[in-house]
Amino acid sequence: MNLDGKVALITGSSRGIGNSIARLFIKEGAKVVVCGSKLENAVKAVEQIKKDLKVTDDVLLPVGLNMKDREHVQKIVETIIDKWGKIDILVNNAGITSNVSLLDSTDEQFTEMFAINFFGVVTITREVVKYMKNTGGSIINTSSMVGLYGGRNQSAYASSKFAINGLTKSLAKELGIYQIRVNAVAPGVVGTDMMADNVSEEMKQALIKMTPLNKMAEADDLAGAYLYLASDLSKFTTGTIISVDGGLLM
């Protein structure tokens, strides 16, 4: 298996894309820290994964990790190191989105967006790298197609993802010396709660029409790209942003 003996910390894995990544990583032999914004969400997700994949407690650790609570983020990393001794893979996937025009937006909305989608990522990455620099590893950030091309009424969200791309490339240059690879995945539109809450049925159909593969992605369709970036299959790949959008934007 591609991730035998590896320890993976995946933020935002209580549901959606992160949950699909967690499931694939477990199937590939990893131990996985499953995170929700609250502990109860992570515990619920872990119970479901155990049932579905018929795995035991020793490969799963549920964690409540609110990306806004940066002090707590530091403590969580220490807890994982105490339990499993290392973190080989960090997937910075937790995120929020919004659809609001500039004129209707507030500074507080931009601050909230960046607190979760960007500053939380900086904090957790710094804490993980303190340990990962001794072993090497793979960091994978979840970006977005709007982090490459922008999006109408999505200036806060798109800007936070452009920042993630900058972080990805800069840290790839900085951390390569420790054999830490840093890459990103840029999903298009994916059938998760985030999409259901923000994209109308009409918009969904229009996006499907514009997508060369003529359908919308499910969360599972994204996980393979993360497996590639997490494993030795991509051992000489760093600083890249892989679009997984069915060809929607190219």
Ligand X SMILES: NC(=O)c1ccc[n+]([C@@H]2O[C@H](COP(=O)([O-])OP(=O)(O)OC[C@H]3O[C@@H](n4cnc5c(N)ncnc54)[C@H](OP(=O)(O)O)[C@@H]3O)[C@@H](O)[C@H]2O)c1
Q: Which are the catalytic amino acids?
A: 157
Restricted to residues 156-215, the positions that interact with ligand X (CB under 6 A) are 187, 189-190, 192-195
Amino acid identity, position 243: S
| Angle, CA 182 vertex, CA 97 and CA 91 arms, to 5° | 50
Helix (H) or strand (E) holding 161: helix 155-175
Which one among 33, 90, 94, 180 touches ligand X, defined by CB under 6 A?
94
Segment contacting ligand X by CB under 6 A, of 74-82, 94-102, 103-111, 148-156:
94-102
**Which residues neighbour 15 within 8 Å (Cβ) at sequence distance 6 or greater?**
36, 41, 45, 192, 193
Does 21 bind ligand X (CB under 6 A)? Our answer is no
Does 97 bind ligand X (CB under 6 A)? Our answer is yes
Residue closer to ligand X (CB basis): 96 or 156:
96
Does 96 bind ligand X (CB under 6 A)? Our answer is yes
Alpha helices in 176-213 (DSSP H): 193-198, 201-210
Does 234 bind ligand X (CB under 6 A)? Our answer is no
Does 7 bind ligand X (CB under 6 A)? Our answer is no
**Which residues neighbour 196 within 8 Å (Cβ) at sequence distance 6 or greater?**
none
Which one among 37, 159, 168, 231 touches ligand X, defined by CB under 6 A?
37
- Asked if 19 and 197 count as a contact pair (C-beta separation under 8 A), the reply is no
Measure the CA–CA gap between 154 and 55, rounded to whole angstroms: 40
**Which residues neighbour 82 within 8 Å (Cβ) at sequence distance 6 or greater?**
none
Does 41 bind ligand X (CB under 6 A)? Our answer is yes
Task: Dig out the tokens for 32 from the structure.
Answer: 């996985």
- Asked if 131 and 88 count as a contact pair (C-beta separation under 8 A), the reply is no
Residue with tokens 């985030």: 194
Does 36 bind ligand X (CB under 6 A)? Our answer is yes
Residue closer to ligand X (CB basis): 55 or 249:
249
How big, in percent rounded to 5, are the helix, strand and coil portions of the chain?
50, 15, 35
Residue 223 neighbours by CB distance under 10 Å: 23
Which one among 12, 62, 137, 246 touches ligand X, defined by CB under 6 A?
12
Does 10 bind ligand X (CB under 6 A)? Our answer is no
Does 17 bind ligand X (CB under 6 A)? Our answer is yes
Segment contacting ligand X by CB under 6 A, of 10-18, 103-111, 132-140, 230-238:
10-18
Does 139 bind ligand X (CB under 6 A)? Our answer is no
Provide Rg for the chain, Cα atoms. Answer: 17
Closest separation between CB of residue 51 and ligand X, Å? 18
Does 93 bind ligand X (CB under 6 A)? Our answer is yes
Residue closer to ligand X (CB basis): 36 or 246:
36
CB-closest chain residue to ligand X: 16
Contacts with ligand X, residue ranges (CB under 6 A): 11-18, 36-38, 41, 65-68, 93-97, 116, 142, 144, 187, 189-190, 192-195
